[in-house]
Amino acid sequence: MTMLWVCLAGGFGAVARFLLESRINSRFSAPVPLGNLVINVVGSLLLGLITAAALNHLGFSQNLKEPLGTGFCGGFTTFSTASVETARAACGCRKRVGALHCMGMAIAGVLAAILGLALGSRV
């Protein structure tokens, strides 16, 4: 049954990513793929919160960890799209943009996960 919930949550995460990323990219023009950056940073924060809440048993059922963490966050975030966006920029005339996107996402993602773990431990 857990596998079914993970699949359903992953689908919801993918739809949420599509809608939010499309909205961000249509409203803001940035040298880096801003929608992808925001999605992956927010997903890292959410996964940190979910993980901390599950590890600390803070009113958070272990049965929710896999569907929300692996399913929703896995469907919501996307390493492959981030990699392709970085490679497209780096292979073109925008090597600095590619490097900025890659490093910015890695640093911001880890910091967001740390923040999520810290906040989730205090709830």
Using the CB atoms, write b or e for 48-71: b if 16+ within 10 Å.
bbbbbbbeeeeebeeebbbbbbbb
The answer to whether 2 is annotated as binding is no
The DSSP symbol for 68 reads: I
What span, in angstroms and rounded, lies between the C-alpha atoms of 45 and 65?
A: 14
The answer to whether 43 is annotated as binding is no
What span, in angstroms and rounded, lies between the C-alpha atoms of 40 and 32?
A: 13
Q: Known binding site for Na(+): residues? A: 74, 77
Q: Known binding site: residues? A: 74, 77
